[in-house]
Structure 1
Amino acid sequence: MSLEELIPSNHMKSHIYSILIRTGLVLSTLLVALCIPFFGLVMSLIGSLMTMLVTLILPCLCFLSIRKGKITLFQVSLCVLIIAVGSVSLGIGTYTSLAAIIQQLS
């Protein structure tokens, strides 16, 4: 989207440029995936780390930080439970991904 925003909107061929930019990005991703032998495993590792961190752990930590002193015990307990589940999931996913990468290397 950042690249597409650089194209002047009054340009008549801006739609064609958008298609070319998107096609180029997809092709470059394909080339990276074909050149890196463990691309799927690396993406699995990054996904297990980032997904749990961004979707479960950080929102609860931010909520607890922002609403400090103004939340009920139930809300604190629920946030701590969500953080615990997210941390366990993050740990299991990361361990599984690392184990698969190590297995492929040996």
Structure 2
Amino acid sequence: MNPLARSIEELLPVKISSTFWCFILLRTALVIFSVIVAFLVPFFSLMMAVIGSLLSTLVAVIVPTLCFLRIVKKAKTTQIVLSITTVALGIICAVLGTYSSLSEIAKQY
């Protein structure tokens, strides 16, 4: 929520965006809007599960490990094996989590 709120604050004039009330009201409005969307969109929790299982694993596990392998050119064999194992397990978890979420959506639809 915070990156979105900060982006909106940057669009507002400085006199308004720097006030405490702008901070509170903007974030409160964003939370209320999120709750409304969660109630109105069918399968919202399952869609969040799909996004979370796919993208969170990608961002938190796979990409940092691949970046490590790319940056450290002269890594030890043990580091390379553990990094490749981490990437493989991350891909397996992402695929299984996404499959589980999509099968739950298909079951409820």
Give TM-score scaled by structure 2 length.
Answer: 0.86
Residue 56 of structure 1, aligned match among 58, 61, 64: 61
User: 1:96 is matched with which residue?
Assistant: 100
What does the per-residue CA deviation read over 1:8-63, in whole Å, with 9 as the maximum and x for residues that have no partner?
A: 2x66x710111110011011111111110100000000000011101111111111
Q: How many residues align?
A: 103
Report how far residue 4 of structure 1 moved: 3.0
Task: Please say if 1:71 is aligned against 2:75.
Answer: yes
Residue 29 of structure 1, aligned match among 25, 28, 34: 34
Distance 1:86 1:23 in 2: 35
Q: Which structure carries more helix by proportion?
A: 2
Unpaired segments ≥5 residues, structure 2: 1-5
Report how far residue 7 of structure 1 moved: 5.0
The percent of aligned pairs where both chains have the same amino acid is 42
User: 2:87 is matched with which residue?
Assistant: 83
Distance 1:91 1:19 in 2: 39
Q: What is the 5 A alignment of 1:33-52?
A: 33-52=38-57
**RMSD over aligned Cα, in angstroms?**
1.8
